[in-house]
A and B are shown apart, each in its own frame.
Chain A
């Protein structure tokens, strides 16, 4: 029986017991996705969730769609094959910060540059949850974990800077507990044709509790980005973001709104989006939330489909003719 858009969140719940720790941020994200799915207006059977390994990656087991819980780091590659061969599907990748930025870093950047039509949701908890609490490539320098008792030594990735640098055509950030905004971001990510990269701040209350309290708890530090509007935030929008002459951005107390950077998510050049991605807890104790970048670019799967259509139109494949092409002789 084909399904239609008139479904509700519960139609996307599976009969499997959800096994995240009580209080984990993953629950909120799952709930947001399950209630957003009906809105997609894509029949359930045409939706596929592909994940790697990690706590976040258990996600597909809980979504009543097609799904594959694959191997560590490889979901973007697997999803690339699926999306490229099946342009009719809505393909989602759920991944963690370790999954996507350590072991799977290569696949992530290449999927983004190709602009494969997949929606990548990266649950960033700045920790390896499933393996019980080692630091991750997004943990700040000096993070003390079981594997780094004296503090981590490696400089972290800024996931959005990385995605923008990797030529991503859609880059956004959301927070697990901010359901309304998360849903809005998912909506935009789904509507974008090509790769969408959404970083979701996700609290791991067991191994890295409070990592994002500066924005999860303190809403005034959320710099909500709205396309076409001057970037203001804080109590009554008293603070804003101004672009320096060197292209970087800084936070200011607003006196003259015309001084502020007007957010343009559709700018072909990624420079301003990149500058915004540099506003982090450590650099600004505030960080932008929302869509940094949303531009149109040729989509890998579409281009491949076009080449196939062109080749087919020129001459449909005929296996007998193929074998006989070139020099043949009869005995």
Chain B
């Protein structure tokens, strides 16, 4: 068969959208794996409803998966798709606005029944009534073609045949972008190993979709995206929550401290609990508690006993943990608390990202209760951020907050695997009886950390508690000056960590007058925005904070070096408030709180406008 002309593209954003039951996450995941193997750089963003199975065909039931892949290094899953695959009218309705004019639209024509159209709130059929005029529409009878292709496969029901339509769509897209097929075939065979007929059906649907692309006249060209030049090494694709779990395991291995996770299920943090529960062979103890208070309490109890105590949650659960974190602060025990932020307040939008817990984790406890705060920047950075949170917690005997968000948690990117032997060890430095009198609050002169004397150590029996403690002895004390001293010591200890973390780096190739200061999960969109602004010939500097408390020691110096400072955040200006208060700089905010990641384009517009102002 004569092959079609191949057109080169430097990057593509594809979005699969369908009903929660249509298998869009699986489809997206497979396309991602195929893409990774080609060597494109990529970034993904799954976007799914909180409801497990909202009514079939309904708008709230739409589940989407967006993938950006390119022949160069990219930073985000893309602002807008170039290609939208919509498996039903509801998916079309909720996603069409994002597709730019002349974008490629693939729809399953069979799903556009009167019933489904009504459920999606369409008066007429958009395929026929001109609604889609400005797009390159491919209305394909995906369902009936799938059923037809599978008619000779024995032992499957019509419904099972129909359900393979996502693989037809995947096959078609795999052809369109020249993805390899072997991996998906092997994957389907192993996934459905116990039902070979289902495996066969899915493989057949996938291959039929691929062949359809080759033969149909509807698609005149095939596209190619060449591999990206990336740093050499061994790569895998990884989501933020998986990386975070691995980072915690690595911290346990590197410190020799057994990992104890206390958690109560909550979106979007649950998959860290689930991932860690699979790794008991590392001595990992996962405790699914009765609530978030018990979860963090158990983690703190385990820390007291010499484990690396960790508690993972999201906003509503973090709020419940705060009293115990306050106890951890005064007990001065290591503890890592992970907040995978989601849109709030209250239950908010559980599956959607936000950055609005920053002030809560900084200040949401009674009294003066400082906690170091670290925020991961990208999905794979969750690994390093988790390791770093554990290092600081252990070294300084303090609870540490690690911030992630729903976007980092579920989003994925290729990860150049670290050399695990090169990761420095974390020294627990447990106290041991040495003949001198033991004082539980006698501090290390340099770090101000107190000794960590764990039960089972002969001669170091001592009591600690939430009542204020006398300096050095740790005995209960109501002395006014002692309290003032202890408040200051706890604050100084945390502030001193600034000497132990890297300086803030500025990306400023052109000597700009304006700085963009970002933090956490918006790294990708902001960095991409900065590139665009520079591409348009304007000068702008960018610095990204991973450490929010304490700030890197040169932060003030950097902020003061620029005439204008813009702080883009998915909240109403929380970092902006902190830097204004701390450094007296007139930082401006760029804030959109929609429960979706920033689009690089809108950040670029804001930066561009400010550069010009």
Interfacial residues, chain A to chain B (CB-CB below 8 A) = 1-3, 14, 16, 43-48, 50, 53, 60-61, 63-71, 74, 76-86, 88-89, 106-107, 110, 304, 307-308, 310-312, 314-317, 319-320, 322-324, 326-331
Note all chain A residues with C-beta closer than 8 A to B463.
Answer: 14, 60-61, 63, 66-69
Within 8 A of A (CB), among B447-496: 455-467, 475-476
Q: How far is the CA of A308 from the CA of B286 in the complex (A)?
A: 10
Within 8 A of A (CB), among B287-316: 287, 289-291, 293-295, 297-307, 309
Contact A330 B233 (CB under 8 A): yes
29 examples of A-B residue contacts, CB within 8 angstroms: A1-B459, A16-B476, A44-B458, A45-B459, A48-B455, A53-B466, A66-B462, A68-B301, A69-B463, A71-B327, A71-B466, A77-B295, A77-B298, A78-B300, A80-B287, A81-B298, A84-B302, A106-B291, A107-B290, A107-B294, A308-B280, A308-B281, A312-B283, A317-B279, A320-B421, A323-B418, A327-B37, A329-B234, A331-B230
Q: How far is the CA of A84 from the CA of B305 in the complex (A)?
A: 10
Scan B501-531; emit 1 where CB is below 8 A from any A CB, else 0: 0000000000000000000000000000000
Q: How far is the CA of A248 from the CA of B461 in the complex (A)?
A: 47
- The one of B246, B282, B323, B461 that contacts A66, using a Cβ cutoff of 8 Å: B461
Contact A71 B324 (CB under 8 A): yes
Q: Nearest Cβ distance between residue A52 and chain B, in whole angstroms?
A: 10
Q: How far is the CA of A85 from the CA of B333 in the complex (A)?
A: 16
Given contacts A74-B294, A81-B309, could you give 13 more A-B pairs where the C-beta distance is less than 8 Å? Answer: A45-B459, A65-B461, A67-B464, A71-B466, A74-B297, A81-B301, A82-B305, A311-B279, A320-B420, A320-B421, A326-B236, A327-B183, A327-B237
Contact B420 A319 (CB under 8 A): yes
Contact B258 A45 (CB under 8 A): no
Note all chain B residues with C-beta closer than 8 A to A16.
Answer: 475-476
Contact B417 A86 (CB under 8 A): no
Q: How far is the CA of A85 from the CA of B280 in the complex (A)?
A: 13
Contact B283 A317 (CB under 8 A): yes
Contact B307 A307 (CB under 8 A): no
- The one of B461, B466, B475 that contacts A70, using a Cβ cutoff of 8 Å: B466
Nearest residue in A to B278 (C-beta to C-beta)?
A: A311
Q: Nearest Cβ distance between residue A84 and chain B, in whole angstroms?
A: 6
Scan B213-247; emit 1 where CB is below 8 A from any A CB, else 0: 00000000000000100111111110000000010
Q: Nearest Cβ distance between residue B229 and chain A, in whole angstroms?
A: 8
B262 within 8 A of partner (CB): yes
Contact A308 B285 (CB under 8 A): yes
B33 within 8 A of partner (CB): yes
Contact A312 B281 (CB under 8 A): yes
Nearest residue in A to B282 (C-beta to C-beta)?
A: A317
Contact A319 B287 (CB under 8 A): no
Q: How far is the CA of A80 from the CA of B293 in the complex (A)?
A: 12
Note all chain B residues with C-beta closer than 8 A to A315.
Answer: 281
Q: How far is the CA of A88 from the CA of B237 in the complex (A)?
A: 41
Contact B287 A81 (CB under 8 A): yes
Contact B298 A328 (CB under 8 A): no
Q: How far is the CA of A62 from the CA of B93 in the complex (A)?
A: 68
Q: Nearest Cβ distance between residue B606 and chain A, in whole angstroms?
A: 35
Contact A316 B281 (CB under 8 A): yes
Nearest residue in A to B242 (C-beta to C-beta)?
A: A326
Q: Nearest Cβ distance between residue A66 and chain B, in whole angstroms?
A: 4
Note all chain B residues with C-beta closer than 8 A to A326.
Answer: 236
Residue of A88, A110, A322 with most partner-chain B CB within 10 A: A322
Residue of A61, A81, A331 with most partner-chain B CB within 10 A: A81
With A50-B301, A68-B304, A110-B290 known as contacts, the answer to whether A81 contacts B260 (CB < 8 A) is: yes
Contact A45 B466 (CB under 8 A): no
Q: Nearest Cβ distance between residue B340 and chain A, in whole angstroms?
A: 21
Contact B417 A324 (CB under 8 A): yes
Note all chain B residues with C-beta closer than 8 A to A320.
Answer: 420-421
With A312-B283, A324-B236, A327-B237 known as contacts, the answer to whether A85 contacts B307 (CB < 8 A) is: yes
- Give 5 closest A-B pairs by Cβ, nearest first: A69-B465, A81-B298, A81-B301, A317-B282, A77-B297
Q: Nearest Cβ distance between residue A294 and chain B, in whole angstroms?
A: 24
Q: How far is the CA of A66 from the CA of B461 in the complex (A)?
A: 5
Q: Nearest Cβ distance between residue A304 and chain B, in whole angstroms?
A: 6
Contact A330 B285 (CB under 8 A): no
Note all chain B residues with C-beta closer than 8 A to A43.
Answer: 458
Contact B466 A46 (CB under 8 A): no
Q: How far is the CA of A223 from the CA of B250 in the complex (A)?
A: 57
Q: Nearest Cβ distance between residue B454 and chain A, in whole angstroms?
A: 8
With A60-B465, A71-B323 known as contacts, the answer to whether A85 contacts B302 (CB < 8 A) is: yes
Contact A85 B260 (CB under 8 A): yes
Contact A44 B287 (CB under 8 A): no
Contact B281 A81 (CB under 8 A): no
Note all chain A residues with C-beta closer than 8 A to B420.
Answer: 319-320, 323
